[in-house]
Copies of this chain bind each other. A is one copy, B any other.
Amino acid sequence: MEITDVESIRFTYQSHRTRDEKGHSHPAPPREATGQLTRIAVDGGPDGYCVGGSPAANRVAKRYLVGSNPLHREQLWSDLYRSQRLHAGTLYTKAIAAIDCALYDVAGKAADLPVYELLGGSPDPVPVYASTMVGDDDPDGLGTVDAYIDFCEDLVAEGYGAIKLHSWMPPFDANPDRVVRLCRAVREAVGPEIDLMLDSHHYYSRSEAKRIGDALGELDFRWFEEPMDEYSMSAYTWLADQVDVPILGPETAEGKHRIRAEWAKRDVVDLGRVGVFDVGGITPARKTAAVYEAFAMECEPHGNSIPELHHTCAMPTVASYFEWGLLHPKYDYEERSYPYLTDFPTPADGVIAPPSGPGLGYEFDWDMIEGNRVE
C-alpha cells in the first residue's frame, strides 16, 4: 500500500451562515461558499478522506507522504509535526489533523472496521450537549437574554439534557455582568436538572473571569470554558483556585498533546479538553486522552466532527458529553450543516452514536461535490 497523492477537493455549496468581523459564525441569507475535502490517494489500498484541510498544506505534505505506507501513521504524523517548524503558517495544526484523519479513514477501510473500533472503542451512544452559536444582536436570534431563554426552552423541549452557552463575544457586548444575568436567567428558565456550561469571550481579564466564575459556581454550572487567553497557564491556575465552578481547558492552545501534558502535570484546571482538530489529528488526540486518563483527569471532547465522534467513542474514559452544534434558532443545523453528506450521525434522545461504516464512515454526496468542483 502506497500513498500516491495528497489531494484537495474543493467545491462550492450554499451556505446559510456568515462570520462576523471577529470570525464567529451566525445565520445569514444563502450565499455561495467553498468547501474542502482532503483525499489521500492510495495505490494498492483504499483512498482516505477527511472534511477540511488546506490546499497549500496538502501540497507541502505531499512531499513528505508520497511513496509511504499510509498505515504507518506514527511515522507519518511525526514527519508532518516536525515539518511544521519550517512551514509555519502553511502546515498548520488543523491541516495536519485533516491529513491524519484521512489516514485513519484509509486504515479503517483497509481493516473493514469503523475507526472507533479500529481504536478499540465501543459504539455506545454518548450524551450530547446543545452548543449554541455565539450570541448576536438579533432580538429574534440570540441578541437578548429573553431570546436565549426562548431558545434554551426549545432545546430542552427537543430532548437535550445539557446546553452550553457561548453568551456574547466581541463585536457584541460581552460585559461580564450581562453574561452573569444571562446565565442566571437560563438556569432559572431550565431548572436545576439541565446541565449548563459557559464558553465565553476567551479574552476576559482575571477579575472579569472570576466575577463570572463566582456566579457560575452559585448557579451550579457544570464547567466554565476558555474565559481567558490560554497561553497563560498562570492565569488559569489562579482562576481555578479562586472559583468553585470547574474550569475546563485548554482547547485552542497550540502545542498539541505536549502542552496539554504540561497543564495536566501542574493541575492547572479541573477538566481536560481534547479536540481532534485542535491537537493535529486522531494520533495526537489519542495521546492527549491517554495523558489525562493517566492522571485520572476527566477529558471532554471539542467539536462536532465525525472524526471527533470516533475518537470520543474510543477514549479510555468515555467523555461525559459530545458537543453538538453550533445551534441557533434561525439555523436548521441538521438540514444545513453538511450539504456535501447524504447521511451523518445526529443525536436522538440526547445521545449520539458513531457511524458504523468502515473508516470514518462519511457518506459523501459525490454528485453534488463533483458537479460543483472548483480549482
A interface residues with partner B (beta carbon < 8 Å)? 69, 71-75, 77-78, 107, 110-113, 117-122, 124, 257-258, 260-261, 265, 283, 286-288, 290-291, 293-296, 314-316
The residues of B that contact A316 with a CB separation of less than 8 Å are 74, 78, 287
- CB-nearest residue of chain B relative to A261? B294
Q: Are A294 and B122 in contact (CB under 8 A)?
A: no
On whether the beta carbons of A72 and B290 are closer than 8 Å, the reply is: no
Contact A296 B74 (CB under 8 A): no
Q: How many copies does the complex hold?
A: 2
Is there contact, CB below 8 Å, between B283 and A287? no
Residues of B within 8 A of A314 (CB): 74
A78 contacts across to B, CB distance below 8 A: 316
Q: B283 to A293, Cβ gap below 8 A? A: no
Report the bound CA distance from A314 to B258 in whole Å: 19
CA distance A111 to B115 in the complex (A): 12
Instruction: Please name all residues of chain B whose beta carbon is closer than 8 Å to the beta carbon of A261 when the two chains form the complex.
Output: 291, 294-295
Closest to A283 in B: B120
Given contacts A111-B113, A111-B118, contact A74 B257 (CB under 8 A): no
Known A-B contacts A72-B121, A112-B111; the reply to A294 vs B296 at CB < 8 A is no
A-B contact pairs, 11 of them (CB 8 A): A69-B122, A72-B120, A74-B122, A111-B113, A118-B118, A257-B294, A258-B294, A261-B294, A286-B286, A287-B293, A287-B294
Quote the shortest CB–CB distance from A333 to chain B (angstroms).
29
Q: Beyond A75-B122, A78-B316, A261-B295, list 5 extra A-B contacts (CB 8 Å).
A: A72-B117, A111-B111, A111-B118, A257-B294, A291-B294
Cβ-closest chain B residue relative to A76 = B120
Contacts of A290 in B (CB 8 A): 257, 286-287, 290-291, 294
| Shortest Cβ distance from residue A266 to the other chain B in the assembled complex, whole angstroms | 9
- Tell me whether B74 and A117 are in contact (CB under 8 A): no
